[in-house]
Chains A and B, each alone.
Chain A
């Protein structure tokens, strides 16, 4: 912990003590949330809103929460500042594109705590947090490898940023571990939330002989496309079973509730400090929804892999990891790639017959 961090934490605690002293104990902690999509996307933003509701439920009268939805990333500074200046003392900005605006507002409002999801820039009053979705991707990759009849699986990606690329690699490594001859096709939607485009991308994949669809976009549209064709897919961010009861094999659910409750508690207790959190299956930040629509042996395999990742016995990126050209990636972690290597991943692994947009 640097000297500045300590100073910042001290300043925060003092400020909190001061407000508590002047305004009385019944003063509510106001917490703000900035969403990149609509709360009704039933994916990314929806899950953050589930977390917000969990905070309300856990602390009742002690907190008051506010959200602003569908905030364009290039024009988000005003909305973030508006939350800070209307008495919100803890503000969650829940998309990568909010990074610079959050940093700017955080510098201007040193007494407000900020939490930015999936970014890498921190400040004494700005924490970052993200989830190891790639752990879930490895499990669904194994399921896809077992369930595919055509031997070709598909992936709808949003943008070729490291988080998404790591997800594709993990998914493919999982599939490869149960079916060495598996092939993958990737289509980029170039949007986080655009149901029409996402569905088109999924249909294009299905037309090319793909029979299992995975997605890293925010709406249930790709899964619904699989359902309509009698194929299989996976839910993304939230449990999407209601949209595709026959097609959803499982879903990688983002569980922000525990984290949001913990951070709120830290502010209430005065123990909040700036840090970086990256939790996975073991920390319950990533949760697999029930395994369905698959034979018992596949289900058993998935459950075993899930347990092995939780206990640390298995790592999706255990060394050696080979790049597309067959060269080995330097192993900077403990028997696996390091967090930094995964967070900055900009290559496909061996066997993916596609070119990563650079």
Chain B
């Protein structure tokens, strides 16, 4: 006996919309069972994981802070993924954006440089990420090099560049030789959206990116070109769309947004350059992009959901003394459920008995 996936003839739109919701419920049931088997209360866990973060103003702010870089990067990645181009190196583009923008912050440190510093830093951040993203795109269009490999390998190059800079030339001279830069001046710090808040303008950029992307994909020729290149490359060629230009464009957009995320995070959240400026946002964003089904609004929701699992996981450790492993297991269960639900909406499982087919 074996299982076979066969495509469904038609899928009701309601079912497609309901699938993620069902996936969530299933994931919580499975996780609840595990927690119950551990001798803890599943209800309390649900409360700490979901209800509390969504009902407490502080947690909602933290949710936005955590979701911001994820959404910005994932929105950028959706351009690449829609065109069937695999940019796995957003983490590196994020780092180079932070490095180039951070360079200006360090350069103007201690001077009376005016209000132009911050906008210039953001532009440099976008530029840095975009140029770094263009390297794998150029290698692909010019020499046919696989972009998955080059973009991924360039992540390590970017991290080592940052590492070298904060240990060497950009090290804080008063920092006892510890590997970090000086903390940025107020003129080089991305303002927060409220007095005591940690939510910075990066969140506004993320929302803007989502809106603009929704417009571009739905209403412009460029958006149409992207979808066509991804779905039917041959048709795109017949229509006269240049695959080369598309590749360069989406990598530049994707890298630019990752770079913006990097400089926003460094100037808005961390406040200095240090060897590690990302807990893997560039990679988590790949998950976010697919959880959001490459749809701009979907990505926004997915970024918030993934941020919720991180924050809920920390709260579960603090308030319920549940181990971190359980949180990570839950993240895995959730992703698995969402992806299976997606598959099961479009496909049905057929049980084929042995020898049933010739």
Binding site for B on A (CB under 8 A): 32, 38, 66-70, 72-75, 77-79, 82-83, 85-86, 96-97, 100, 108, 120, 159-162, 190, 343-346, 357-358
Contact = CB atoms under 8 A, between A and B. Distances in A.
B209 interface: no
Given A69-B323, A77-B198, A85-B58, 7 more contacts: A74-B274, A78-B65, A79-B314, A82-B315, A86-B318, A86-B319, A100-B270
A161 B163 CA distance: 12
Interface string B274-295: 1111110000000000000000
B224 interface: no
Interface of B: 58, 62, 65-66, 163, 167-168, 176-180, 183, 196, 198, 269-272, 274-279, 311, 314-315, 317-319, 321, 323-324
Given A75-B279, A78-B66, A161 B179 contact: yes
Contact of B177 (A66, A72, A190, A346): A346
A72 B276 contact: yes
Contacts of B168: 358
Contact of B178 (A74, A82, A161): A161
B176 A344 contact: yes
8 contacts: A73-B276, A74-B279, A77-B269, A79-B318, A108-B196, A120-B176, A159-B179, A161-B177
A77 B318 CA distance: 14
Contacts of A96: 178
Contacts of B176: 120, 162, 343-344
B276 A74 contact: yes
A100 B182 CA distance: 11
Nearest to B183: A100
Contacts of B198: 77-78
A67 B167 contact: no
A336 B196 CA distance: 47
Contacts of B318: 32, 66, 68, 79, 82-83, 86
Which 6 interchain pairs have the tightest Cβ spacing? A72-B279, A346-B177, A344-B176, A75-B279, A68-B317, A162-B177
Nearest to B59: A82
Nearest to B65: A78
A86 B321 CA distance: 13
B258 to A, nearest CB: 16
B324 A38 contact: yes
A79 B312 CA distance: 11
A74 to B, nearest CB: 5
A4 to B, nearest CB: 20
Contacts of A74: 270, 274, 276-279
A343 B321 CA distance: 36
Nearest to A79: B314
A100 B317 contact: no
Contacts of A345: 177
A78 B177 contact: no
A111 to B, nearest CB: 16
A337 to B, nearest CB: 14
Contact of B276 (A85, A97, A100): A97
A358 B167 contact: yes
Given A344-B176, A346-B177, A97 B317 contact: no
Contacts of B323: 69
A69 B317 contact: yes
Contacts of A346: 177
A82 B53 CA distance: 11
Nearest to A162: B177
Nearest to A357: B167
Contacts of A108: 196
B324 A69 contact: yes
Nearest to A119: B178
A358 B269 CA distance: 27
A66 B276 contact: no
Contacts of B321: 66
A344 B176 CA distance: 5
A78 B62 contact: yes
A174 B158 CA distance: 38
Contacts of A79: 314, 318
A164 B321 CA distance: 33
A69 B325 CA distance: 10
Given A67-B317, A358-B167, A344 B311 contact: no
A357 to B, nearest CB: 7
Contacts of B277: 74
Contacts of A120: 176, 178
A293 B311 CA distance: 47
Contacts of A77: 198, 269
A66 B317 contact: yes
Given A83-B318, A100-B183, A190 B163 contact: yes
A161 B275 CA distance: 12
A103 to B, nearest CB: 10
A34 B178 CA distance: 20
Nearest to A78: B62
A89 B171 CA distance: 34
Contacts of A343: 176
Given A69-B317, A74-B279, A160-B167, A100 B177 contact: no
Contact of B275 (A32, A67, A69, A159): A159
A280 to B, nearest CB: 19
A310 to B, nearest CB: 26
Contacts of B177: 161-162, 344-346
Nearest to A71: B314
Contacts of B183: 100
Contacts of A67: 317
Contacts of B314: 68, 78-79, 82
A83 to B, nearest CB: 6
A73 B269 CA distance: 12
Nearest to B69: A75
